[in-house]
């Protein structure tokens, strides 16, 4: 069997490092062609020496010399800067691009990969939040498949295997509720960054962990699901499921529901996206019902956790609104991580920015880029 050659964008992050562990365990199926990081040069160098990619990219240009000095002796090509990302994903030797970088930075390289006809394993949900219509249309035009890595969307995708001709009535995305589930606004006003960074079920990068605490992650996932599965907002429901065992559900026209279950471990959805349509044997820990005799479900609290409602509203309004929401969110999360804004203030700034930004009904790529910049300016001014 010929090996699938992977470009892993964001290999030094939570998803990136777990993807590399999948590659090691499945080394007859996959090999690494490209690894990229933003500023963690030490880990990138270490990974490159172990996995022997053809090329690495370090985002931070000032770190180029350091990475080059370490990897040139291993005959690994080194590039630096954002533009290099868009070039390396287009290399003939790349079969599949795993977008495991965080935030808006994923958009341009993902579009470049699609333009070159590369299939995408998509972890970087922000790309679909910012420009879902443009990205999915371009993928369709190029005959490119986008395989979801996000666990909820992987669950839906797995439930849809063999069902693609059947109409979906609705999908239900499950949410753990994060560390602050059940808390009132009076309590949330005082929560700290350290508390927000302690997710009960998942060990993830800082940005998505804060998004999970604020329910913004679920809002971004509602928008992601719309574009991945071609749904209307009213067909996408969110339910809080604190154990994170049922990863999401699909309900078909006949009322039948299918769910995908398993322990919360991102290696499974990563492996499924990389190996699709195959399921590969592995030694991941298995789920046992007797360890979880009570799987529970509750309604999300949209008044306390406003971000989920803001995301539904943005999806309903359409155009560049989700792009504005995403940009403002990246700004406020960064500010929260630097102790510059409080937890609840994040939603206030988002709502304000959404009000103030110029609305564009049918945005082009240039419009998205401009909206992202405008939203960042407005949100930053409010901090
Ligand atoms: P991390 O913060 O752990 O890792 C982010 C990666 O992206 C790192 O390799 C980082 O490099 C790189 N990076 C950061 N900023 C830039 C930039 N401006 N340009 C290029 N590369 C950059 O994030 P996660 O792995 O947690 O998340 C990655 C994506 O996957 C996000 O979109 C997230 O929403 C999604 N996701 C994550 C899940 C998880 O379990 N972690 C679950 C579902 C989805 P460096 O290390 O050098 O900073
Ligand atoms: Mg998810």
- The reply to whether ligand 1 has any atom less than 6 angstroms from the CB of 33 is no
Position 1 scores a pLDDT of 79
- Cβ distance 225 to 317 under 8 Å? no
Residue 140 has which token pair? 């369709």
Pocket test for ligand 1, best of 10, 153, 215 (most atoms within 8 A of CB): 10
**Predicted pLDDT at 165:** 94
Quick: pLDDT tens for 8-27. Answer: 999 999 999 999 999 999 99
Structural domains of the chain sorted by starting position, each given as residue range(s) with its CATH number in brackets: 4-148 (3.40.50.720), 154-264+286-317 (no CATH)
pLDDT of 373 reads 98
Q: Are the CB atoms for 28 and 109 separated by under 8 Å?
A: no
Distance CA 117, CA 129 (A): 21
Q: Are strands 246-252 and 168-175 parallel, antiparallel or unpaired?
A: antiparallel
pLDDT tens, position by position, 145-196: 999 999 999 999 999 999 989 999 999 999 999 999 999 999 999 999 999 9
**Residue 117, pLDDT score:** 98
Nearest of 94, 80, 82, 224 to residue 150 by alpha carbon? 224
Ligand 1 pocket check for 242: Cβ under 6 Å: no
Q: Which residue has the tokens 């808006």?
A: 104
CA distance 192 to 175: 21
Q: With beta carbons less than 8 A apart as the criterion, state whether 207 and 326 touch.
A: no
Ligand nearest to the Cα of 201, by number? 1
Ligand 1 mutation pick, 156, 208, 334, max ligand atoms within 8 A of CB? 208
* Residues 283-341 pLDDT 10s: 999 999 999 999 999 999 999 999 999 999 999 999 999 999 999 999 999 999 999 99
Model confidence pLDDT, tens digit, residues 85-139: 999 999 999 999 999 999 999 999 999 999 999 999 999 999 999 999 999 999 9
109 lines ligand 1 (CB under 6 A): no
Ligand with minimal distance to 123 CA: 1
Tell whether the model's pLDDT for residue 202 goes beyond 90.
no
Averaged confidence pLDDT in the chain: 98
What distance in angstroms lies between residue 336's CA and the mean position of ligand 1's atoms?
17
Q: What is the pLDDT of residues 214-273, one digit of tens each?
A: 999 999 999 999 999 999 999 999 999 999 999 999 999 999 999 999 999 999 999 999
Give the ligand 1 atom nearest the CA of 36. 9
Pocket test for ligand 1, best of 102, 262, 267 (most atoms within 8 A of CB): 102
């Amino acid at each position: 069997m010929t090996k699938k050659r992977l470009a892993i964008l964001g290999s030094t992050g939570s998803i990136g490092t777990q993807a590399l562990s999948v590659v090691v365990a499945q080394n007859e199926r996959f090999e690494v062609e490209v690894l990229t990081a933003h500023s963690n040069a030490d880990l990138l160098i270490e990974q490159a020496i172990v996995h022997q990619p053809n090329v690495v990219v370090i985002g931070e240009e000032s770190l180029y010399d350091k990475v080059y000095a370490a990897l040139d002796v291993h005959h690994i090509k080194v590039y630096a800067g954002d533009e290099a990302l868009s070039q390396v994903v287009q290399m003939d030797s790349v079969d599949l691009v795993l977008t495991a970088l965080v935030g808006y930075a994923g958009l341009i390289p993902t579009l470049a990969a699609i333009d070159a006809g590369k299939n995408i394993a998509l972890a970087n949900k922000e790309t679909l939040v910012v420009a879902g219509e443009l990205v999915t249309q371009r993928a369709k035009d190029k005959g490119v498949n986008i395989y979801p890595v996000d666990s909820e969307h992987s669950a839906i995708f797995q439930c849809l295997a063999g069902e693609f001709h059947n109409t979906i009535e609705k999908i239900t995305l499950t949410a753990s509720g994060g560390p602050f589930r059940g808390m009132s606004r009076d309590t949330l006003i005082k929560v700290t960054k350290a508390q927000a960074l302690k997710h009960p079920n998942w060990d993830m990068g800082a940005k998505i962990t804060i998004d999970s605490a604020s329910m913004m992650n679920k809002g971004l996932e509602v928008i992601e699901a719309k574009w991945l599965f071609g749904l209307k907002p009213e067909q996408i429901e969110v339910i809080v499921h604190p154990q994170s065992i049922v990863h999401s559900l699909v309900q078909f026209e006949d009322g039948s529901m299918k769910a995908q279950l398993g322990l919360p471990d991102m290696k499974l959805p990563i492996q499924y996206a990389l190996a699709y349509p195959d399921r590969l044997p592995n030694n991941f820990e298995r789920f046992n019902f007797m360890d979880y005799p009570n799987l529970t479900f509750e309604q999300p609290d949209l008044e306390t956790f406003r971000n989920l409602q803001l995301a539904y509203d943005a999806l309903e309004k359409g155009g560049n609104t989700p792009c504005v929401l995403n940009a403002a969110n990246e700004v406020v999360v960064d500010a929260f991580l630097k102790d510059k804004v409080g937890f609840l203030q994040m939603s206030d700034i988002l709502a304000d920015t959404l009000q103030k930004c110029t609305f564009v009904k049918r945005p082009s790529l240039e419009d998205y880029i401009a909206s992202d910049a405008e939203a960042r300016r407005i949100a930053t001014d409010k901090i």
